[in-house]
Amino acid sequence: MPRLRSRVLRLTAAALGAALLGGTLAGCSSGGPTEIRFHLSKPEAIPYFRELIAEYNSSQDDVRVVFDTSSNLQAGFLRGNPPDLGLLNYNMEMSRFMERGALSDLSDMPEADRILPEVQDLVDQYATYPGRTSVLPYSVMAASVIYNVDIFEQQGLEVPQTWDELIAVCDQLQAAGITPFYGTFKDPWTVAQGWFDYTVGGTVDVAEFYDEMNELGTEVGPDSPVSFERTLLEPVDRMTMLAETYTNPDAASRGYGDGNLAFAQGQAAMYLQGPWAFGEIAKTSPDLKLGTFPLPMTDDPEDLEVRVNIDLAAWIPEASRHQEEARGFLSYLFQKDVMDAYNAAQLGYGTTTDAAPVTDPRIVGMKEFYDEARFYQGASKAIPLTIPTENYMQGIVTGGSAERTLRVMDADWARLALRQ
């Protein structure tokens, strides 16, 4: 896959130099076990990993793992005192440490050989460091359209595979008095994660697009061969049409929590959210039959793909003085049964060649696409945070001009590139 070079999100060499040269002991008492600090970024997974840590600590006397879920990661790197092992969502923010060499090479570990190549490629889309494999994906979340199976069956509807079929499904639902999509436009992130990412990802090669955008840099604009306005206007126009025509009338005032409750109550047939919403929906309707399918944006079923993100990925900083001990705990976490249990509980997809296949009916509709690497990372996640993409997309679905907004994003992109 082409590589996304995050030029506009880089730490200074001096700051990261401090992280590489500095470092303090994570802590160990004289004659006692070596203490290593393990940082986790996902609140929902804390109980699972807390239990694993307890089991690991009680299984041997040489290493004591200390659970860290609250420290400031960037500050730790800048002070030369990062955690000894991290397990975090991998995104552009983390890639800054990768590309400056702040993360150690894990390529010699057996765990690295088990990672699916197409999943490891997702890491490389953001950044690489020559000669190193510094980040090992632990879990992948796949996201697409969530749909109410009972409503589809009652209306005699098949899962759409083309744009025309999608519109036909929406029209039939409306004719039956059923809202096709439940919109939660009050929360900007839900617009970017679902509506923008799914429509763009179903239309263009996201990785290739950003590879070209990064190459153009300051030249992105009205006359460049690719740009937000030139390349993404068509899918964004279709996003706007779906949002204006086929959502609940009060979508602009409804947030994520409202959407989970309303969808659980059967107030719409489809919902553009990820698997994290299933647990919230189940609090209201635990027996609701739900499924997933990729949002069709063209008239060719071969274009169907699902959005993915690296839910958790492991890394060990160069600044850690306990790399060997951290590697030992990493190997413990990467045991097949440990990884399989986590993914089953969190509705994630495995990252290794020996991972158990997904079986939960709510996400099994995405299995063939994941197995065939027909997936993309969200378009909104490859844009620097200094460009307020979520707010821009919220503005579009609530009445703003798509063409004008995308033109502003082009100018933002070029301006950031110039500052580098």
Q: Are strands 270-273 and 136-148 parallel, antiparallel or unpaired?
A: antiparallel
CB 275 within 8 A of CB 363: yes
CA dihedral 306, 126, 321, 14 (to 10 degrees): -150
Please state whether beta strands 375-377 and 306-315 pair in parallel, antiparallel, or not at all (unpaired): parallel
The pLDDT confidence band at residue 3, using thresholds 50, 70 and 90, is very low
pLDDT at 348 over 50: yes
Please report the pLDDT score of residue 91 as a whole number: 76
Q: Tell me what the pLDDT averaged over the chain comes to.
A: 91
Name 394's Cβ contacts closer than 8 Å, sequence gap at least 6. 185, 188, 191
For residues 197, 200, 201, 202, the Cα torsion angle rounded to the nearest 10 degrees is 120
| Domains observed in the chain | 13-141+309-370 (3.40.190.10), 142-307+379-419 (3.40.190.10)
Q: For 356-379, how does the pLDDT look when each residue is reduced to its tens digit (9 = 90+)?
A: 999 999 999 999 999 999 999 999
Share of residues in the chain with pLDDT > 70 (%) = 92
Q: Is the pLDDT of residue 184 over 90?
A: yes
Extract the tokens encoding 131: 């000669």
Q: How confident is the model at residue 30 (pLDDT cuts 50, 70, 90)?
A: low
pLDDT band at 73 (very low <50, low <70, confident <90, very high): confident
Contact 274, 193 (CB under 8 A): yes
Q: Cβ neighbours of residue 159 under 8 Å, at least 6 residues apart?
A: 147, 152, 291, 293, 365
For 31-175, list the strands marked E by DSSP: 34-40, 63-68, 85-88, 136-148
Distances (CA, A) of 268 to 159, 175, 249: 15, 13, 12
Asked whether residue 99 carries a pLDDT value surpassing 90, the answer given is: no
pLDDT for 157-179, tens place per residue? 999 999 999 999 999 999 999 99
Does the pLDDT at position 28 exceed 60?
no
Q: Which residue has the tokens 């057996």?
A: 110
Quote the pTM value. Answer: 0.88
How large is the average pLDDT for residues 117-121? Answer: 95
pLDDT above 80 (res 93)? no
* CA dist., res. 292 & res. 390, Å (int): 24
| Mean pLDDT calculated for residue range 127-156 | 95
- Residue 129's nearest CA partner among 152, 106, 155, 148 is 106
Q: 419 Cβ partners below 8 Å, 6+ apart?
A: 8
Region of poorest pLDDT, from 62-76, 111-125, 221-235, 261-275: 62-76
Label residue 338 by pLDDT band (50, 70, 90): very high
Cα angle at 375 between 373 and 376, to 5 degrees? Answer: 135
